[in-house]
Structure 1
């Protein structure tokens, strides 16, 4: 049985990622070794990504995760796609068997696991999704799979909205909207799937005036855990979901794909929390 795995993450910026700690702690708890390498490359074009993926194939990687801004760009460079990744059109996990690179999407499975408890106690109604990029696509498919009410999708790039709405048409009630205000009008929940609020940004994708106690608010960003959006939503009395559980569950699903072993989400959660505490707690 294999007991050593080389994995990693391609994206930019990723120096803040908690993924190395989560994957390496999960491996140690299972009695195996994982080295999780951050591959931080800014502005990679198609040829750059192709070269990186060829390196993944040749250097013995079990696989890599992919994050902003390359989740969509890598799709056409892979040998095959799992059905979920093919439907979504975005990949955050690539599994290598040495000869073939296969794309998967654990953002979708991870978000579904993270949001399910909150949805179970929330009233059914329209949900506003802000962001139609790589993670936004995954979250849209996760919500559709959970049978929520109408999805209202907003993105500053109207073409992205149209593409995602088209992908979901026939699968789930969906409507592209032209403004944040239209997305949140009467919505029972809102999800931020953009990088807005991720450090160093201290902006919020939603004006505070649109938040109210009878809605829930989720953010895919986890650096910081309490984004300006979530802090404002909590102050208004809304139920909130930080990016913590999405990060943990998506990482756990990726770990299983890389190693064929099921990790402890408790171990991964402890590792995630330790990274967050060390990074954001004031010095003693």
Structure 2
């Protein structure tokens, strides 16, 4: 019998996960299907019970359910619990166990671009859910420091205070970030600033950016935001959000099937859906 996997969100029509995972099931000869379900917040508990009753193999969770789903699960791993958000659920013999692969997916995407996180001074721009997942996961790897820059400094400070791992960190304003960009080896833009259709916007200027730095933006529509384009023009290496998206999906697929999938295949499928050309490290 075909195994069911799913993604729950509201809205959900834009999700590229079904194309990505269904292609992988076909590629690895796995008799399974991955379907999108639009679930309103008030219907989340009912949807989880329904998926459990029909023996779902696992499912992803996206906005706005990543935190709200936790009370309806049988267990949550330590990282996801500390982040306070779940994006991947595995059905283990009838028990629904929640994980967060967003942060680990981002870290996997850095492999080959950052020799060792322990040698890095890192700036995260933004203090929302994605920033939280990336920050807590980075903190486990004990870099030299991870600072958080946000429009509302109090929100960044709360994020620093919430981190369960001992790491030198400070909360700073975006103006302070502009002045101190030269202090960082890795800069990670986690806000939606610069996403289509407001493609001309960016969260900070890059006048003080040093050349030997990696600048990441978790946005992938457009593929290369104004923020990344300017960083590239100033001599930085850049990485867009496709790596994080693909690796978080790959880690979910591995939890469901035991197979770590073909990353390049996944990237190419995502780019086709976005209307992009061949994937390149631009």
Measured against the shorter chain, the TM-score band is: 0.7 to 0.9
How much does 1:14 deviate?
4.2
Q: TM-score when scaled to structure 1?
A: 0.83
Measured in 1, the distance between the counterparts of 2:225 and 2:38 equals: 23
Structure 1 SS opposite 2:112:
helix
Given that 1:212 and 1:233 are in contact with CA atoms closer than 8 Å, whether structure 2 keeps it comes out as no
Q: How does 1:42-61 map to 2 (within 5 A)?
A: 44-45=40-41, 47-61=42-56
Q: How does 1:1-284 map to 2 (within 5 A)?
A: 4-41=2-39, 44-45=40-41, 47-97=42-92, 99-120=94-115, 124-158=119-153, 160-168=155-163, 170-177=165-172, 179-184=173-178, 185=180, 186-202=183-199, 203-209=201-207, 211-277=209-275
Measured in 2, the distance between the counterparts of 1:14 and 1:279 equals: 25
Q: Describe the shift of the 1:121–1:263 C-alpha distance in structure 2 as closer, same or farther (beyond 3 A).
A: closer
Measured in 1, the distance between the counterparts of 2:258 and 2:164 equals: 34
Q: TM-score when scaled to structure 2?
A: 0.84
Q: CA RMSD in A?
A: 2.8
Q: Which ranges in structure 1 are unaligned for 5 or more consecutive residues?
A: none
Q: Which ranges in structure 2 are unaligned for 5 or more consecutive residues?
A: none
How much does 1:106 deviate?
0.9
Q: Describe the shift of the 1:254–1:122 C-alpha distance in structure 2 as closer, same or farther (beyond 3 A).
A: closer
Matched residues, number: 274
Given that 1:93 and 1:104 are in contact with CA atoms closer than 8 Å, whether structure 2 keeps it comes out as yes
Q: Describe the shift of the 1:60–1:243 C-alpha distance in structure 2 as closer, same or farther (beyond 3 A).
A: same
Measured in 2, the distance between the counterparts of 1:9 and 1:243 equals: 19
Q: Describe the shift of the 1:277–1:166 C-alpha distance in structure 2 as closer, same or farther (beyond 3 A).
A: same
Measured in 2, the distance between the counterparts of 1:14 and 1:223 equals: 16
Q: Deviations over 1:20-40 (max 9, x none)?
A: 222111111111133222234
